[in-house]
Structure 1
């Protein structure tokens, strides 16, 4: 039996790095953190505060199973979309907070009433 030839090695892809900055007086840090979390597997994100700015340093993840790595423009665009999505989620949560609390109170109140009647 002949030995198997060694597997071909793919050339190492170079990592893409990009910095995106936001005004800290108008940008919510938790939205940046959430957007960074959603990039896991695609890129890493380090958020630093520099004066009145949040600087997000994005570095693409090298994944040999992925055929194409995002360009710096694509990575920046993806991150900006995720940040916009997280900002919208935060605003919706703030606007619906009262209704959500009423629904939870009614649900747990009904649960407590049912348990008291059963006992």
Structure 2
């Protein structure tokens, strides 16, 4: 795929856009585009290849929106991890599945 020219290129700051988060967003649109992600210094470079060229503009905008959504989800997941773990620990301690909860 890297031999052909991409239909669009998105450059993202790698410090604020983790590669795994961008990969999740790209996967969500794999029916419309394929995305080749590489790192260039402090940037992630996303080469976008359209499966249907007539849908490229919309797909690129939707992909950028999904990247922002996934970044925010990851941030919220990280910020609420301690509370989520506490809630799960309390919930499982009341099931009788652990010896300490019996």
TM-score normalised according to structure 1 size: 0.70
Instruction: Report the RMSD for the aligned CA atoms in angstroms.
Output: 2.3
- Aligned residue pairs total 96
Q: How many angstroms does 1:97 deviate by? A: 0.8
| Segments ≥4 residues shifted beyond 4 Å | 113-117
Offset, 1:54 = 0.5
Instruction: Identify unmatched segments of 5+ residues in structure 1.
Output: 1-15, 63-67
Alignment gaps of 5+ in structure 2: 1-5
1:69 and 2:54 are equivalent in the alignment: yes
Deviation of 1:75 (Å) = 2.4
Structure 2 matches for 1:21-60, cutoff 5 A? 21-60=11-50
Point out the structure with the larger helix share: 2
> Which structure is larger by alpha-carbon Rg, 1 or 2?
1
Partner SS for 2:17: coil
Mapped partners of 2:36, 2:28: distance in 1: 13
Among 77, 80, 89, the residue aligned to 1:93: 77
